[in-house]
């Protein structure tokens, strides 16, 4: 297999990645495998993760896909037990499962007179309570439950860590997506809480906050059906000092650094932005 950018050696480690059927998290699984880890790819639909497990195996790595619903405690516990039986105890947990729901999203950035009664506009007042709860459950509870399932395998062992996937909008909320922004803010806060809670056990807990990556669920917000960029894309790029979207490969360095127990041995409770400067730019 090809070497990774930091030459991080994870030989003998077991890495678990939730949401591994998606673009960004499947890439993370591949990166961990290239570093030598045995990788468990967890996804609600295991067949989606199996595609990437097969790709890892074709490269000479060790990987297996598992069904796991991250908002169901029993499902998480079952996946943890099976990974333990197949690979041994988990050393690295990447909580990557997450997402948004259109019914928890407003149509407009700003409220305008009459929106509250307009039939063709989803305003703040039309946000579905079930959808908002679902977004929080998927992102926040979907981080807690896998952590509860896999951390017992880390206790009493050295070199273990957790990496959560937050978002740059955890720090600066984006328009239209209040539930997702709030849920990711909760993930960043939870990262700090977990870092303190497990610090005496030697388990480091950090997070990555990706900026805008034109992949998966973001595409419908960034590009029209004909492939042309949306107005929102123009605003995003204007507010990103580097002037472009990120590539999934550009998460590789942050991932390998934070899971490297030598390079990041005294780093815990940190959320690292990988956003082309978006979170640092005031717009002026």
Catalytic residues: 180
Phi, psi of 164 (to 5 degrees): -95, 155
Residues in a beta bridge with 242: none
- Return contacts of 218-225, CB within 8 angstroms, 24+ apart: none
182 neighbors 137 (Cβ within 8 angstroms): no
- Give 238's contacts (C-beta < 8 A, 6+ positions apart): none
Distance, in Å, from the CA atom of 166 to the CA atom of 187, rounded to the nearest integer, reads 6
Strands 161-165 and 92-95, by their bridges, are parallel
Helix (H) or strand (E) holding 42: strand 38-43
Neighbours of 233 (CB within 10 A): 18
Please state, in angstroms and rounded to a whole number, the distance separating the CA atoms of residues 37 and 138.
Answer: 26
Q: How far is the C-alpha of 250 from the C-alpha of 248, rounded, in Å?
A: 5
- Backbone torsions φ then ψ of 249, nearest 5 degrees: -65, -20
């Amino acid at each position: 297999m090809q070497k990774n950018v930091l030459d991080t050696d994870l030989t003998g480690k077991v890495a678990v990645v939730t949401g591994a059927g998606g673009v960004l998290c499947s890439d993370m699984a591949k990166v961990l495998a290239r570093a030598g880890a045995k990788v468990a790819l967890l996804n609600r639909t295991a067949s989606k993760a199996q595609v990437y497990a097969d790709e890892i195996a074709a490269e000479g790595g060790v990987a297996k896909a598992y069904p796991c619903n991250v908002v169901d405690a029993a499902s998480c516990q079952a996946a943890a037990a099976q990974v333990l039986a197949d690979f041994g105890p988990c050393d690295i947990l990447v909580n990557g499962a997450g997402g948004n729901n259109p019914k928890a999203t407003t149509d407009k950035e700003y409220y305008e007179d009459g929106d509250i009664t307009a039939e063709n506009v989803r305003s703040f007042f039309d946000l579905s309570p079930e959808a908002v709860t679902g977004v929080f459950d998927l992102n926040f509870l979907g981080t807690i439950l896998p952590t509860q399932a896999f951390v017992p395998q880390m206790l009493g062992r050295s070199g273990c860590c957790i990496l959560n996937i937050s978002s740059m909008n955890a720090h600066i909320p984006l328009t239209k997506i209040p539930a997702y922004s709030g849920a990711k803010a909760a993930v960043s806060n939870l990262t700090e809480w977990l870092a303190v809670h497990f610090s005496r056990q030697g388990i480091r807990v950090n997070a990555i906050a990706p900026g805008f990556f034109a992949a998966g669920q973001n595409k419908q917000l960034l590009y029209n059906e004909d492939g042309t960029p949306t107005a929102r894309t123009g605003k995003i790029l204007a507010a990103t000092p580097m002037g472009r979207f990120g590539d999934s490969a550009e998460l590789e360095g942050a991932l390998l650094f934070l899971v490297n127990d030598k390079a990041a041995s005294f780093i815990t409770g940190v959320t690292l932005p990988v956003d082309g400067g978006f979170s640092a730019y005031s717009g002026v």
